[in-house]
Amino acid sequence: MIDLPPCVMLYFKGIPYKNEDDFRVAIEIAAEAMEAYDTAPFGWEFALELAPRFNFGSSAAGGAKLATPVKDA
């Protein structure tokens, strides 16, 4: 268990997919989208020094769910 200070997290949710066995691919696609996302127009920047990224898993009906810390740019 770790104690993390509060921070703002940017949440990414992938699209649903058909085959439940494709969860790894769904997570990879969502992670690639997160990496490529330009936060600057919204006044944010990624802040991995504040907290870890979170992988909330994936399901065929709900898609992949990821979060990453951000801070004011």
**Residue 41 belongs to a domain:** yes
Q: Domain range spanning residue 21?
A: 8-72
The answer to whether residues 53 and 67 touch, using CB atoms and an 8 Å cutoff, is yes
CA 71 and chain centroid, separation: 15
3 lies in a domain? Answer: no
> Sign (positive/negative) of CA torsion 26, 28, 31, 37?
negative
67 found inside a domain: yes
Total domains in the fold of the chain: 1
Q: What is the pLDDT along the chain (73 residues), one digit of tens a residue?
A: 888 899 999 999 999 999 999 999 999 999 999 999 999 999 999 999 999 999 999 999 999 999 999 999 9
Residue 59 domain-assigned? Answer: yes
Task: Report the pLDDT value the prediction gives residue 49, as an integer from 0 to 100.
Answer: 95
Q: Is residue 53 part of a domain?
A: yes
